[in-house]
Amino acid sequence: MEALTRPLAQLGRATVGALSSMGYAAMLLYESLYLSLLGWRIGQPLRLRSVFEQMRQVGVDALPIVLLLSFTVGIMLGIQFVSALGEFGAESQVVIAVAKSVTREFGALITAILVAGRSGSALAARIGSMTVSQEVDALAVIGVDPVRYLVAPALIAMLIMLPLLTLFADAIGIFGAALYSAPALDITPTAYMLQSMSLLNMGDIGQGISKSIVFALLITLIGVSTGFSVTGGAEGVGRATTRAVVLSICWIIVADMVFSYFLNR
């Protein structure tokens, strides 16, 4: 009998733990938005200097690697679409296929995965270290709300910078595809870029931007909630950092699948 009930008990504990984590993340989101907008009324104003510092770390410092990887992905898409569509004599469709794939899907997805691995892990490690060393408790003791001080700037910065990074990724991805595909299509890279711009509409770009906003929420909330729940000293910080990255990437892919299903019906 115990052999039958033990898996059910483990499943129940896992379910309760997952629901508890989701509730905690939702609470952090509510408090962050409230303190960002109305914190000044209760003596907890949002520090713009912290927001700009987080924007630099999340966006500006990540821009080179985002552009490099997006450029590489654009070339790869150009190679694959020229080869695949060429088998059906549809090389002329390469331009629109690459443009819509990058703006709707790959620009936002690649950017979010990079930022999750870079900034999401940094958030979890930073807050986790502060939790273990009781710095978070010290902030509360001296009258500084930890959510306002640690979470709100990161959330605002992520919501601003991830869509911007996605736009840069879209542009450089299409440019990378142009460098490879234009000679195969017997046109210039400039003509390729102009044709891509004429074929795209705001819905294509907006789909990628809307995804990036959701991804920004997921990366931030998973990173900070994991950091606040750290136990076990330095080893716990390491586990939390790994967990934050894995969970962020998993939820990003799941959310991307849901978005793609409903937005392309």
Asked whether residue 94 is assigned to any structural domain, the reply reads yes
Chain segment 123-167, per-residue pLDDT in tens: 999 998 888 888 888 888 888 888 888 899 999 999 999 999 999
> Is the residue at 156 inside a domain?
yes
pLDDT at 162: 95
Report the percentage of the chain scoring pLDDT > 90: 40
Query: Which amino acid is residue 96, in one-letter code?
Result: I
| Domain extent for 91 | 27-33+55-263
Flag whether 220 is in a domain. Answer: yes
Domain contains 150: yes
> What is the pLDDT at residue 235?
83
Question: Tens digit of pLDDT for each residue in 156-212?
Answer: 999 999 999 999 999 999 999 999 988 888 888 888 899 888 888 888 899 999 999
pLDDT of the residue at 1:
61
DSSP string, 182-235: HHHHTS-HHHHHHHHHHH--HHHHHHHHHHHHHHHHHHHHHHHHHHHT--SHHH
Q: Is residue 49 situated within a structural domain?
A: no
Least confident range from 5-9, 35-39, 130-134: namely 5-9
Measure the CA–CA gap between 225 and 98, rounded to whole angstroms: 37
**73 assigned to some structural domain:** yes
Confidence of residue 4 (pLDDT cuts 50, 70, 90): low
pLDDT at 39 over 90: no
Residue 77 belongs to a domain: yes
Average per-residue pLDDT in the chain?
A: 88
Beta carbons of 89 and 32 less than 8 angstroms apart: no
| Sign of the C-alpha dihedral computed for residues 251, 207, 65 and 129 taken in this order | negative
pLDDT at 31: 87
For 41-85, write each residue's pLDDT tens digit. 887 888 889 899 999 999 899 999 999 999 999 999 999 988 888
| pLDDT of res. 13 | 79
pTM for the whole structure: 0.90
Best CA proximity match to 112, nearest among 71, 154, 164? 164
Total domain count for the chain?
A: 1
